[in-house]
A and B are shown apart, each in its own frame.
Chain A
């Protein structure tokens, strides 16, 4: 017998956070994100049964089946996961919601719902597993493909890319980050902070499609990503149960998260970005577009001040299914009052 397995602060082993066996192509960037999600939820000690994992349709949207088997999953319809997540979040505000989407699922068919999700501030970690193509339908360009990017068959994308981070910030999202599935270290820290955030978190994660978009001429390949990733700072997260009050005595900027703990960023040698500065974030992202040499990753923007949708709507703390009938069905007197008003 070996030693007792390592457990997190609620006494669960990482095994309890795993999911089914992935059926994605070997080496697909999405699988890396899946594994990072497992680590993040494990390290954060989230109770698996309190998690709702939702998705639309696509290779990326299949991945909720591959993490957190003890959580409730909902693989819905193409581009409409935001609405399903909004309904679930309103029905039971105790749930921890994670939504997985793709660049097709979000930036084309689901653009309308994405926009309105960002406006509403539904507590949801919204991850776009961004590979610049529609993987599941065999590699057509998506709306996040860069101008000039080439498909395997030589087709060149002539249209400008939609920048989901810029949109999210402009639409009021309070936690916006960009990462790369080959940069697990950074992604893990961002995910942990997102779990503690409590509002909508938009994570645009470059996630190469090894089958349809990993070739020379692609700007969403592993090679391109590794050569061009430009972290804008170092990101870290200090959980609440460790150090309730973080007070760094260095050049780190820490932002307390509503769900406990703090996210921090630390300047790198020749770059620095304070994620509390919205204008700076938008400027940074705009400059990224004019700059083919680098794609910036890190915590673009964070603002924990905004009220969640449920607070804004004055929703009760308890799940709606738990409301007893006398709180739902008005009394006979009230019925008389209603009837009297119709006479």
Chain B
């Protein structure tokens, strides 16, 4: 055990009224220092205490050495969007410490390495200097491990300081180190050391506390990418081809883990799925399209730069009518952009991707439930409409831990779309691959290898007629692309419909994807703080159904909230329904950080003032 610190500041300030179960913690550290396990331990322990919680990892594009921040928000009311204000700051990074301290609001709690000597920087925050470096030498004899173990010391200190139950810390650690008993013991000891130090050295009541409640019973904590992978597994994916790219890699990596457990055939021992790491995204999407053409349920997961490379193939999928599922976990573009930051920057790019007239169904998951469920929606729609379907996730949803209800076991059978087998082909009268038999624009396809001599056809990205024959006839071309247009528009009726909350107010908000969390909180802020009542429509898919028109028409002022610079969703609504464009105003957030409620509510208030 280390000597108790004699630093005078450790006699902590006393607060009469602690703030309970409403706080955000930020850990400022260095990338590659192994703090992720420590941060997840804090998060999981708070979660297991029944308090709604979320974690956002604000990390650099770097393997080791650059500053990184992890924020945890615990909130009794269930607000788990990012909050800009930090209540409890843990300063472990000398590089950024001064700025980190300068950024916290008055009244915050700052825990820091004693040696950083931050206590004189401000007198409106509570400093808790801790001799982390001294302590870690005592706890961890192996020099090489100290860099990692020091993180567990702050877990112990924070746990004691804000009241996280030590049993829950132990449980979280036991889970994290389930296969490494030696490491577990070392980490448990480090947490204890931090805790004991805090008990012995910190007196008085801290300002922020957590207390057990029961709002997370039955829930799970999971990253969106993992949820999507689970969704794909249950949606019957049979081929995934990919090329690694942040923030999408963990979709396929999770799928690889799941497949190893759940897709080995019990009878034959064979793999009932093909997962290929391709040489680039061009090859990945090429494999997906080739496999789908031959009847596989196939997918790829990528991010913006990958979509750019895939564009030519996406047009082929659209025009030759071959299914493909593309999970786009969006990051901040253009170009390499901020590769480890979030954005809804590919909204427009994906909806109308590739040259010529194109239009692709897009799904916009806002939470874990949808990250999981939209996977099946995507596969079913891709095969039903014989086209590329985008699952438009983002880094915030994909890579951060979110609280959610357990996944519901799928009720629906797989929709494999209009596929004619040998019998179907024999019965079909004058079958043509691109004929609109049912009036919905969706033709019937056949799969290579079907016997009977009737199903063969030639797939091509060049001009073709209803029988898949090459043609340069302008009329045949126009008729074909008009049919495809009808087909794609028809998907609007079966894709997830918008969710509308509230009616009759003058102000309408439209948002989609991961903005949802912040919007819920912002609407409460607007109502409580500013007396502004709002209605809210959340878009869940493109092409747009008529209900979006109805919503816009029913409101005097409509604010479209999105996470990009150009207001891409507003542009799309304006392009699809040009008469509505003048009614739409953008609220845009594009710092690469997840959207927070205050940004939205402040923008609405200021726009409302201007407007009235």
A residues at B contact (CB < 8 Å): 47-50, 52, 54, 64-65, 69-77, 80, 82-92, 94-95, 112-113, 115-116, 313-317, 319-323, 325, 327-330, 332, 334-335, 338-339, 342-343
Selected contact of A80 from candidates B220, B273, B286, CB within 8 Å: B286
Q: Which residue on chain B has the smallest CB distance to residue A110?
A: B282
A84: B residues at CB distance < 8 A = 286-287, 289-290, 293
- Assuming the contacts A87-B294, A92-B448, A327-B272, asked whether A72 and B462 have C-beta atoms less than 8 A apart, the reply is no
Q: Which residues of chain B are within 8 angstroms of A115 by Cβ–Cβ distance?
A: 279
Q: What's the least CB distance linking B268 to chain A, in Å?
A: 6
CB distance from A67 to the nearest CB of B (A): 11
CB 8 Å contact bits of B310-327 with A (1 = contact, 0 = none) = 001100100000000000
Interface presence of B221 (CB below 8 A):
yes
Listed A/B pairs (26) with beta-carbon separation below 8 Å: A54-B290, A69-B456, A70-B456, A71-B456, A72-B448, A72-B456, A72-B457, A73-B459, A75-B459, A76-B290, A76-B316, A77-B312, A83-B287, A84-B287, A91-B238, A91-B295, A92-B447, A116-B279, A313-B271, A315-B270, A315-B274, A317-B270, A328-B297, A330-B262, A339-B406, A342-B222
Cα distance, A115 to B279, chains bound together (Å): 10
10 closest A-B pairs by beta carbon, nearest first, are A83-B286, A87-B290, A321-B295, A87-B291, A84-B290, A87-B287, A72-B448, A91-B294, A91-B296, A342-B220
Bound CA span A325–B406, Å: 22
Chain A residues near B447: list those with CB within 8 A: 72, 92, 319, 321
Closest to A309 in B: B276
Q: For the complex formed, measure the closest distance between the CB of B372 and the CB atoms of chain A, giving whole angstroms.
A: 11
The smallest beta-carbon distance between B63 and chain A, in angstroms, is: 26
Residues of chain B touching chain A, judged by Cβ–Cβ distance below 8 Å, are 220-222, 226, 230, 233-239, 241, 258, 262-263, 265, 268-274, 276, 278-280, 282-298, 312-313, 316, 406-407, 409-410, 413-414, 416, 446-453, 455-462, 470
- B274: chain A residues at CB < 8 Å are 90-91, 313, 315, 320
Cα–Cα distance between A54 and B461 once the two chains are bound (Å): 12
In the bound complex, do residue B295 and residue A75 qualify as a contact, i.e. CB atoms below 8 Å apart?
no
Question: Are A325 and B414 neighbours in the complex by a CB distance under 8 Å?
Answer: yes
Contact with A83, one of B269, B278, B294 (Cβ below 8 angstroms): B278
A49-B455, A339-B220 given. 19 additional CB < 8 A pairs? A52-B448, A54-B290, A73-B460, A75-B462, A86-B283, A88-B291, A91-B296, A92-B448, A95-B294, A113-B286, A319-B294, A319-B447, A320-B294, A321-B447, A328-B237, A328-B238, A330-B262, A339-B406, A343-B221
Q: Closest Cβ of chain A: how far from B252's Cβ, in Å? A: 15
Residues of B with C-beta under 8 A to A332 = 409
Tell me how far the C-beta of B262 lies from the nearest C-beta in chain A, rounded to whole angstroms: 4
Name the distance in Å between B296's Cβ and chain A's nearest Cβ: 4
Q: Which chain A residues lie closer than 8 Å to B453 at the CB level?
A: 48-49, 70
Give the residues in chain A near B286, CB-CB below 8 Å. 76-77, 80, 82-84, 86-87, 113
Asked whether B276 lies within 8 Å of A328 as measured between CB atoms, the reply is: no
Inter-chain CA distance A88–B288, complex, in Å, is 9
Is A49 a contact partner of B450 (Cβ separation < 8 A)? yes
Q: How far is the CA of A208 from the CA of B37 in the complex (A)?
A: 64
Chain B residues within 8 Å of A50, by CB:
449
Q: Find chain A residues with CB under 8 A from B241 CB.
A: 83, 87
Q: Across the two chains, which residue of chain A brings its CB closest to B219?
A: A343
Q: Which of A70, A71, A87, A116 contacts B293 (CB 8 A)?
A: A87
Separation of A52 and B279 alpha carbons in the complex (Å): 23
Q: Smallest distance from the beta carbon of A327 to chain B beta carbons, Å?
A: 5
Please state if A88 and B409 are interface contacts (CB–CB under 8 Å). no
The answer to whether B449 touches A319, judged by C-beta atoms less than 8 angstroms apart, is yes
Cβ-neighbour of A113 out of B226, B282, B461 (below 8 A): B282
Which A residues lie within 8 Å of B265 (CB)?
316, 327
Determine the distance from Cα of A328 to Cα of B293 in the docked complex, in whole angstroms.
Answer: 19
Asked whether, in the complex, the Cβ of B292 is within 8 Å of the Cβ of A87, the reply is yes
Option from A65, A319, A342 in Cβ contact (under 8 Å) with B295: A319
Which partner residue on chain A sits nearest B470 by CB separation?
A65
Instruction: State the CA gap A330–B235 with chains docked (Å).
Output: 10
> B287 near A86 (CB under 8 angstroms)?
yes
A39 to B11, CA, bound (A): 93
Residues of A within 8 A of B316 (CB): 76-77
Q: How far is the CB of B401 from chain A (nearest CB, A)?
A: 10
Bound Cα distance A88, B238 (Å): 12
Measured between beta carbons, the chain B residues less than 8 angstroms from A328 are 236-238, 263, 272, 297, 414
The listed residue with most A CB atoms (<10 A of its CB), out of B220, B271, B449, B451, is B449
Given known pairs A80-B286, A91-B238, A329-B410, the reply for A65 and B270 (CB within 8 Å) is no
B409 touches A94 (CB 8 A): no
Q: Tell whether, in the assembled complex, residue A116 and residue B272 are in contact, meaning their CB atoms are under 8 Å apart.
A: no
Smallest Cβ-Cβ distance to A327: which chain B residue: B272
CA distance in complex: A134, B453 (Å): 35
Among A54, A73, A85, residue most surrounded by chain B Cβ atoms (within 10 Å):
A73
B406 and A91 within 8 A (CB): no
Whole-angstrom CA separation of A95 from B295 in the bound complex: 12
- Contact A112–B283 (Cβ < 8 Å): yes
- Beta-carbon nearest neighbor of B175 in chain A: A343
Q: How far is the CB of A160 from chain B (nearest CB, A)?
A: 24
Closest to A316 in B: B270
Instruction: Give chain A residues whose Cβ lies under 8 Å from the Cβ of B289.
Output: 76, 84, 87
Q: Which residue of A lies closest to B468 (CB)?
A: A73
Determine if B413 and A77 form an interchain contact, defined as CB atoms under 8 angstroms apart: no
Do B239 and A90 have beta carbons less than 8 Å apart?
yes
Partner of A116, one of B262, B268, B270, B283: B283
Residues of B within 8 A of A320 (CB): 238-239, 272-274, 291, 294-297
User: Complex Cα distance A47/B456, Å?
Assistant: 12
In the assembled complex, the Cα of A343 lies from the Cα of B168 at a distance in Å of 12
For A82, A85, A327, the residue with the greatest tally of chain B CB atoms inside 10 Å of its CB is: A327
CB pair A90–B276 under 8 Å, yes or no, is: yes
Residues in A whose Cβ lies below 8 Å from that of B230: 338
Residues of B within 8 A of A69 (CB): 456
Select one of A73, A80, A92 contacting B458, CB under 8 A.
Answer: A73
Known A320-B238, A338-B230: A87·B298 in contact at CB below 8 Å: yes
Pick from A49, A83, A322, A334: contact of B456, CB below 8 A: A49
Residues in chain A near residue B285, CB distance under 8 A? 83
Cβ B271 vs Cβ A314 within 8 A: yes
A86 close to B456 (CB less than 8 A): no
Closest to A71 in B: B456
Q: Which single residue of chain A is at the shortest CB-CB distance from B290?
A: A87
The residue that B279 contacts in the complex, of A73, A113, A338, A339, with Cβ under 8 A, is A113
User: Are B407 and A86 touching (Cβ within 8 A)?
Assistant: no
Q: How far is the CA of A131 from the CA of B459 in the complex (A)?
A: 25
Given contacts A70-B453, A73-B458, A85-B290, contact A323 B276 (CB under 8 A): no
Chain A residue numbers with a CB within 8 Å of B406 are 339, 342
Is the pair A323, B238 in contact by a Cβ cutoff of 8 Å?
yes
B455 contact set on A, CB distance < 8 A = 49, 72
Residue of B nearest to A65 (CB): B458
**How far apart are A111's CB and chain B's nearest CB, in angstroms?**
11
| Partner of B296 from A48, A64, A87 at Cβ < 8 Å | A87
Residues of A within 8 A of B452 (CB): 49
Interface centre among B263, B265, B287, B288, by most chain A C-beta atoms within 10 angstroms, is: B287
CB closest residue in chain A, given B275 = A313
Known A74-B290, A95-B449: A325·B295 in contact at CB below 8 Å: no
In Å, the complex CA distance between A341 and B291 comes to: 32
Q: How far is it, in angstroms, between the C-alpha of A339 and the C-alpha of B455 when the chains are bound?
A: 43
In-complex Cβ contact of B239 among A74, A87, A317, A343 (8 A)? A87
When the two chains form the complex, which single residue of B270, B278, B284, B298 contacts A91, counting CB atoms closer than 8 Å?
B298
> Which B residues lie within 8 Å of A317 (CB)?
270
CB of B213, distance to nearest CB on chain A (Å): 17
Complexed CA–CA distance, A71 and B450 (Å): 10
